[in-house]
Amino acid sequence: MKPLNKDLFNMKRLKVSLAMAFWLSVVTFPIMVIKINTINDTVIWRWGNLALIVILGLFGSYIWNYALDRMKERKGESNRLKETLSGLYQRLRSNPKVKKPVLAAVVLVIAAFPFITSMYSTSILTTALIYVVLGLGLNIIIGLGGLLHLGYAAFFAVGAYTYALLYQYFQIDFWIALPLGGLFAFLFGLLVGIPVLRLRGDYLAIVTLAFGEILRIILNNWGPVTGGPDGISRIPRPSFFGIDLKLQGSINLTYYIMVLMVVITIIVVRRLEDSRIGRALEAMKEDEVAAEAMGIDIMKSKLTAFALGSMWAGFAGVVMAAKTTKVTPDSFGLMESVIVLCIVVLGGMGSIPGILLGAFIFKIVMEYFRVFAMYRMLIFGAVLVIMMVFKPDGLIPKIRRKYTVEKEGA
Amino acid sequence: MKKILFVCSLVLLVSVFFVGCQKDTGVIKIGVAGPHTGDLASYGIPTVKAAELVVADWNANGGVLGKKIELVVEDDVCDPKVAPDVATKLIGEGVVGIVGHICSGATEAALGIYLDSSIPVISPSATNPPLTKSGAYPNFFRTIAPDDAQAILEVDFVLNTLGKTRIAVLHDKQSYGKGLAEFAKSFIEQSSNGEVVLFEGIQADAVDYSAVINKVENAGADAIIYGGYHPEASKLVSQIKEKGINIAFISDDGVKDDTFIEVAGSAAEGVYASGPNDTTQDPIAVKARENHVAKYSEEPGAFFYNAYAATQALLTAIANAESTDYEAITSALTSNYVDTTLGSISFDENGDAIGVGFSMFQVQNGVYVEIK
Amino acid sequence: MNVQYLLNLLMSGLTKGSIYALIALGYTMVYGIIKLINFAHGEIYMIGAFTALIFASLLHYMGVNMILILVISMAFAVVFASGYGIIMEKIAYKPLRDAPRLSALISAIGMSLFLQNYVLIIQTERFLPFPRLIPDFPFLAPIQSFISSRQIVILAVTLVVMVFLSILIKFTKIGKAMRATSQDKTMSLLVGINVNKVVSVTFLIGSATAAIGGVLIATYMGQINYKIGFLAGIKAFVAAVLGGIGSIPGAVLGSFILGLTESLGTGYISSDYEDVFAFLFLILILTFRPSGILGKPETQKV
């Protein structure tokens, strides 16, 4: 076996990169260089773009292949960066003198956040926290349950519209709507799950996608009840015991609600993983037939995971409706489901810190990316591909607990 | 647990840096918000270009109130969930006024926040009537006629001028198109000389509409009122023509766009659309178009003239008010007339534009001609 | 019931179906080989249409005649779209061949977003008119209102492509290699099949089909835009699953059934819920045949 080349400079890699740059410039030539406008029949030749592609292709391909080679080589050895970081944690954790102040500092910043930053920052962080809850909820379904779900936004919509409709027709307060939103999402999850969970893999994916779209279309078309494409507006933000908070106050309150919700969700998910149902799901994910043979009721487990996961989307939906004061069907389409899916997979399926990080990248880093204006989504698409190629298990993959058996002496 | 802590710390650290920028007292900032990526980008990008042209023009003449004007452009992807965050960002940047948003839904979601911070908002394209007529948003203005105004014009034209009686009302299931269609439907039902034989929504971006067209034909309609934008309208009229069906087609200002004629070709001939009074001979509009073609090498897109007018109105109001104070600007907007690409306009106490006349146009010999 | 109305609806359904089929074929081929839902397939279709438009505009300036423009620009569209497909595979999918399926899916989503925005930025956000390259056939004049020349061409091309692909898979050496790879990748490697080459060829063919579809549909609809790939891709995906993903005749069958369901649903019930009918029908079929109509049920070995 040839030793993989981990040197920075390498002739073979250079040749590959040159070839790639060449092919890239050939293939992208029409779209990059020839700008057409058939509305007023003009054609503009932009040769500058050709040079751009050649240069980008050359460097990009070179760095790409280098990184790939490094990654392949690293699969054998242990990840030294991870080890140093990991070692750092261990030392921090075991040193109570460091741990307690750090913990205290974090808690302090979280608590004081709205008062030390602007309305914009608080707003963004709140949105990110909503997506954390969504990610954790979807994680129960795909991470714990191993079910591929492309229609999660539908349950998000159920929560949001529950509050919106209850407010519009019955003037129900936010605090009452919150548990109801979760309840309805849970029930809807059961309803959808029963016919659907018999399907495998990609078929399950397409059916969940179908359900998501069906709900969205019904919400869009059923004008008299749901407000149609315009949805429902002027939904009140959360209030604190009837005190009328100004805008700033409501935004801060929403933030604290979300912090609390995230904490509760993390605790619940942790408990779930360790519970009977959690272990049943993990066994089922490994090998369904073996799990069934061990006496696990597959359908019941899947259904529980599905409905439980959906419930969290309901809670998040209620808060989202209160935060934005307006719900429309288009807010809960396929792209929304895809975004939550990306958060879970990018962060690391099944790993709580991973999902935190995933939601963070999605919402906060994407906000930072606003400086790139129109290039934002382009860069984002590229980032998704790069992340997946180099870290297919997610940024912070779930660590499987291993039990080692000590062997007696030979 | 420790990992969670680590991530939390990271998140907080990065988020703290979102502290809003200090208000730059040397420039006057105007925010432009709308969809610049995603599905509806073609409806949001022309507004940015319009604002850029107006600001460049004004800055070349010394800016406003002696300061340079700076545009802060933000993308809301037409999503009411994202719009409030965009609003908080723009406010944090210290903008004194907003041109946008583009979609009624996103606009409404953001308006509450702008109102709370006393920021005037002028939209070139948000046509949902309650935005002005409900009175809930005194900071909102628009340089486009609301849905009901357009609908009544179209219905009146179809029933009384064209003399049709069996109307099929179609829409694209989106906020703008369906809103207009529903008004059209209720106006026809209220009238004594027309009936709605069909009321259906089509899927935007779909490949083939022959099923709906068959249905229209089967219902015996003699005219179609379509609420929506030009891409679907061009597909509809082309496929109607292919089937050899002869039926009057009336639509809204989302269709009164030269791209419609280009795409639909000969099928566009005879199509009616409502739109702002023809001001393309107006020197301001002509110059705006020339500047656009010179800078971007293409014709202006959707809502360009509306956005150009909105930006002009906002800047003129600031100049007239001699201040960036909210009360001063809003009162200047309602009490002065401004010469814009849409003619000489002002705003009524609800925020709707006065002087943006609407009339019916027809495609004759490949060009939209105003019907007097 | 009005027979002519029904016939018209059936014709609409068949037209829609053949449009979906051209895209679904590529989807199903790629899935069959590497079990990947190629979210970016719709974007290849869109790029094919754009490439064709670019060359058609250039040729138009040179005064070439319509039919020749159609053939040449379609050829170019096929070539360049295949190029995009192969490069896309090498960058975004090849490194993930042994990774969990969801990761490859996310990579595909990223690719889809990237290509959409790439065309948006480099070209334009506007809807660009696409010339009608298929003239009316004189012999069709009497039934012109029932079926147009474009519809016939699309239907014919769909059937030809389907037959061609089936022959390719069944009787050629590369087809055998493709079948082997889809059954068991490791074994195929062991018996000496160049799996990388097989995958590249699959993407090439899939992209080529998408490009052909892109050109024909663009000339039918008369306009293109950077986002036409998204909805078309989803519909095609649904159609492929309906017919049994991985099966070529299944993709075509599923597409026609999807088109007919939409059409009849619109005609007899309501156009508002057109997509809902299609999705409900899908769910119904999958409830009774969990692997799609022509799909092979996955047997699980214990």
What confidence tier does B12 reach under pLDDT thresholds 50, 70, 90?
A: low
> What mean pLDDT comes out for the span A257-262?
90
Average model confidence (pLDDT) across chain B: 86
Same domain, A157 and A224: yes
Task: List, as own/partner pairs, every contact residues C169-173 make where C-beta atoms lie below 8 angstroms and the sequence separation is at least 24, other chains included.
Answer: C169/C248
Q: Which residues does chain C have with pLDDT short of 70?
A: 1, 141-145, 296-302
In whole angstroms, what is the distance from residue A337 CA to residue B181 CA? 30
Cβ–Cβ under 8 Å, residues A133 and A127: no
> What mean pLDDT comes out for the span A135-155?
89
Residue C125: list chain B partners with CB under 8 A.
41-42, 45, 301
Query: How confident is the model at residue C292, as a pLDDT?
Result: 77
A window 133-192, beta carbon within 8 A of B: none
pLDDT of residue A98 exceeding 80, the answer is: no
What confidence tier does A77 reach under pLDDT thresholds 50, 70, 90?
A: very low
Same domain, A39 and A137: no
Query: How confident is the model at residue A295, as a pLDDT?
Result: 76
CA atoms within 13 A on the CB side of B97: 31
> What stretch of H or E contains C228?
helix C228-243
- According to DSSP, the residues that pair with C135 across neighbouring strands are none
| Domain assignment present for A106 | no
Single-letter code of the amino acid located at C112 = S
pLDDT of residue A158 exceeding 90, the answer is: yes
Closest-CA distance, B79 to chain A, in angstroms, reads: 6
The closest of A344, A24, C223 to B42, measured between CA atoms, is C223
Contact flag A289-C300 (C-beta cutoff 8 Å) = yes
Q: Which of B159-173, B271-285, C140-154 has the highest mean pLDDT?
A: B159-173
Same domain, A146 and A38: no
Dihedrals phi, psi of B95, to nearest 5 degrees: -75, 150
Same domain, A312 and A173: yes
Same domain, A334 and A204: yes
B/e letters for C135-171, b = 16+ CB within 10 Å, e = fewer, are eeeeeeeeeeeebbbbbebbbebbeebbeebeebbee
Same domain, A162 and A40: no
What confidence tier does A83 reach under pLDDT thresholds 50, 70, 90?
A: low
Same domain, A19 and A156: no
Query: Of B183-192, B337-346, C128-137, which gets the smallest average pLDDT?
Result: C128-137
pLDDT of residue B16 exceeding 60, the answer is: no
The closest of B252, B256, B257 to B227, measured between CA atoms, is B252
In whole angstroms, what is the distance from residue B135 CA to residue A403 CA? 67
Give the count of domains, chain A: 2
SS3 assignment, position B169:
strand
Residue B195 CB neighbours (<10 A): 11
Collect all residues from C whose CB is shorter than 8 A from any CB in B: 2, 5, 8-9, 11-13, 15-16, 19-20, 117, 120, 124-127, 129-130, 132, 144-145, 148, 217, 220-223, 225, 227-228, 230-232, 262-263, 266-267, 270-272, 274-275
SS (H, E, C) C140-190: HHHHCCCCCHHHHHHHHHHHHHHHHHHHHHHHCHHHHHHHHHHHCHHHHHH
Contact flag A364-B259 (C-beta cutoff 8 Å) = no
In whole angstroms, what is the distance from residue A296 CA to residue C145 CA? 61
Q: Which two tokens stand for residue A277?
A: 């149902």
pLDDT of residue B173 exceeding 80, the answer is: yes
Query: How confident is the model at residue A81, as a pLDDT?
Result: 53
Query: What domains lie within chain B, and their CATH numbers?
Result: 20-145+282-354 (3.40.50.2300), 148-252 (3.40.50.2300)
CA atoms within 13 A on the CB side of B338: 24
ipTM: 0.84
B/e letters for B261-275, b = 16+ CB within 10 Å, e = fewer, are bbbbbebbeebbbbb
Cβ–Cβ under 8 Å, residues B258 and B275: no
| CA angle (B360 as vertex; B358, B365 as ends), nearest 5 | 135
| Domain assignment present for A2 | no
pLDDT of residue A375 exceeding 90, the answer is: no
> What mean pLDDT comes out for the span A137-155?
88
Higher pLDDT residue, C142 or A225? A225
Q: Which two tokens stand for residue C276?
A: 């809902």
**A75 near B CB under 8 A:** no
In whole angstroms, what is the distance from residue B42 CA to residue B35 CA? 8
Query: How confident is the model at residue B17, as a pLDDT?
Result: 57
Residue to substitute from A36, A38, A39, A86, interface B, most B β-carbons within 10 A:
A39
Entry field: residues in chain B: 372
The residue segments making up the domain with residue A322 are: 117-390
> What mean pLDDT comes out for the span A139-161?
89
SS3 assignment, position C123:
coil
SS (H, E, C) C9-51: HHHHHHHHHHHHHHHHHHHHHHHHHHCCCCCCHHHHHHHHHHH
| Domain assignment present for A23 | yes
**A53 near C CB under 8 A:** no
Contact flag C54-A388 (C-beta cutoff 8 Å) = no
**A52 near C CB under 8 A:** no
DSSP per-residue string spanning A312-378: HHHHHHHHHHHHHS-B-GGGGSHHHHHHHHHHHHHH-TT-HHHHHHHHIIIIIIHHHGGGGGGGHHH
Cβ–Cβ under 8 Å, residues B351 and B339: no
Strand ranges inside chain B, DSSP E: 27-34, 68-75, 95-99, 121-123, 140-142, 166-171, 195-201, 223-227, 248-251, 272-276, 338-340, 343-347, 353-354, 358-364, 367-370
CA atoms within 13 A on the CB side of A397: 13
Same domain, A71 and A124: no
Same domain, A56 and A152: no
Contact flag B205-C231 (C-beta cutoff 8 Å) = yes
Same domain, A172 and A307: yes
**A326 near B CB under 8 A:** yes
Closest-CA distance, B101 to chain C, in angstroms, reads: 18
pLDDT of residue B20 exceeding 50, the answer is: no
Contact flag A201-C101 (C-beta cutoff 8 Å) = yes
| Domain assignment present for A32 | yes
Cβ–Cβ under 8 Å, residues C84 and C44: yes
- With a pLDDT cut of 90, the percent of chain B lying above it is 23
Q: Which two tokens stand for residue B41?
A: 């980008």
- According to DSSP, the residues that pair with A312 across neighbouring strands are none
Contact flag B37-A38 (C-beta cutoff 8 Å) = no
Query: How confident is the model at residue A1, as a pLDDT?
Result: 44
The closest of C30, C216, C176, C220 to C108, measured between CA atoms, is C30
Can you give the CATH number for the domain in which A350 is found? 1.10.3470
| Domain assignment present for A54 | yes
| Domain assignment present for A252 | yes
Contact flag B80-A231 (C-beta cutoff 8 Å) = yes
- With a pLDDT cut of 90, the percent of chain A lying above it is 16
Residue C87: list chain A partners with CB under 8 A.
23-24, 27
Same domain, A285 and A358: yes
pLDDT of residue A312 exceeding 90, the answer is: yes
SS3 assignment, position A41:
coil
Task: Enter the pTM of the model.
Answer: 0.86
Of residues A247, A330, A353, nearest to B7 (C-beta): A353
What confidence tier does B185 reach under pLDDT thresholds 50, 70, 90?
A: very high
Cβ–Cβ under 8 Å, residues B106 and B85: no
User: Which residue carries 């050829």 as its tokens?
Assistant: C75
Query: How confident is the model at residue C299, as a pLDDT?
Result: 57
Which sign does the torsion angle of CA A385, A390, A395, A398 carry? positive
Query: How confident is the model at residue A401, as a pLDDT?
Result: 60
User: Which residue carries 């030539």 as its tokens?
Assistant: A29
Same domain, A214 and A360: yes
* CA B278 to chain CA centroid, nearest Å: 17
Higher pLDDT residue, A399 or C150? C150
| Domain assignment present for A306 | yes
